[in-house]
Amino acid sequence: MSKLKIIVGTTRPTRAADRVAPWVASVAAAHGGFEVEVLDLRDWPLPFFSEHFGTLGDINDPTYSEPLVKAWNKVIKDADAYIVVTSEYNHSIPGVLKNAIDSVWASNAFRNKPVAAVGYSAGISGAIRAIEHLAQIVVEAEAVPLRNTVVIPFANGAFDDTGRPTSADTSAALDVLLDDLAWWSGALEQARTAGELLPGRVRLRDAVLKAEAAKAPTA
């Protein structure tokens, strides 16, 4: 079964994420296609990004600057698919979420795996700018952002007393997202098993080094 990690991308007290994330987790668990784990960034107080190639160590089992970053890399790498639950902070994703993604970029933790977004906001936007920005960010991590998302405007009134969405559109959107995620998770798992290319930035560096060596004068 596909290992799905649900990343809760805001941490502040009184956050609206506490209305959205439990619903996403319970519907994902009931879907049947996933073994679900919630990664709440409140439980992962990662340091401000401070990695460099000296802190990375062995890329297949990176040391990183702190044990918590090492553990975060491990839990992210040990996934087949992700749902990011995000609000919109100043037209982008929250800084704490960006920091969590940047922290494991060098070890390719998200690489060749699907990432779906559930966005919510207090106003009418439903975090659509943050969702679009998230897609750009995860492409750089060589992950695969999905087209179908869940957009929840006016999040404070979007759930009833039992924790279910008041809009049928919201529920239907999550069902579509989960079906897509299950399909992409299976397809990419098969592709990874068949063999992965080295990351693009590594292949590019190798190609440049080779071209420069070919140009160097021979003694």
Two structure tokens written together for 213: 């060596």
User: Contacting ligand FMN (CB under 6 A), which of 89, 110, 159, 184?
Assistant: 89
Given a contact cutoff of 8 angstroms between Cβ atoms, the answer to whether 201 and 111 are in contact is no
CB of 51 to ligand FMN, least distance (A): 25
CB of 193 to ligand FMN, least distance (A): 37
Listed in sequence order, the DSSP H helices in the chain are: 17-31, 53-56, 67-77, 95-103, 128-140, 168-194, 200-215
Q: Calculate the CA dihedral of residues 174, 160, 4, 85 and round it to 10 degrees.
A: 80
**Interface with ligand FMN in residues 144-173 (CB under 6 A):** 155
Q: Are strands 81-87 and 114-120 parallel, antiparallel or unpaired?
A: parallel
CB of 14 to ligand FMN, least distance (A): 7
User: Contacting ligand FMN (CB under 6 A), which of 45, 52, 53, 90?
Assistant: 90
CB of 67 to ligand FMN, least distance (A): 27
**59 alpha-carbon distance from chain centroid:** 19
Given a contact cutoff of 8 angstroms between Cβ atoms, the answer to whether 134 and 102 are in contact is no
User: Contacting ligand FMN (CB under 6 A), which of 23, 69, 82, 87?
Assistant: 87
Q: Calculate the CA dihedral of residues 14, 176, 89, 5 and round it to 10 degrees.
A: 70
- Asked whether position 57 contacts ligand FMN by CB under 6 A, the answer is no
Options 39-47, 50-58, 82-90, 193-201: segment touching ligand FMN (CB under 6 A): 82-90
User: Contacting ligand FMN (CB under 6 A), which of 1, 35, 91, 140?
Assistant: 91
Among residues 16 and 141, whose Cβ is nearest to ligand FMN?
16
- Asked whether position 12 contacts ligand FMN by CB under 6 A, the answer is yes
User: Contacting ligand FMN (CB under 6 A), which of 5, 7, 10, 133?
Assistant: 10
Q: Which residues of 14-39 are buried (b: 16+ CB within 10 A; e: fewer)?
A: ebbbebbbbbbbebbeebebbebebb
Options 84-92, 101-109, 164-172, 192-200: segment touching ligand FMN (CB under 6 A): 84-92
Amino acid at 37: E
Contacting residues toward ligand FMN, per CB under 6 A: 10, 12, 15-17, 87-91, 121-123, 125, 155
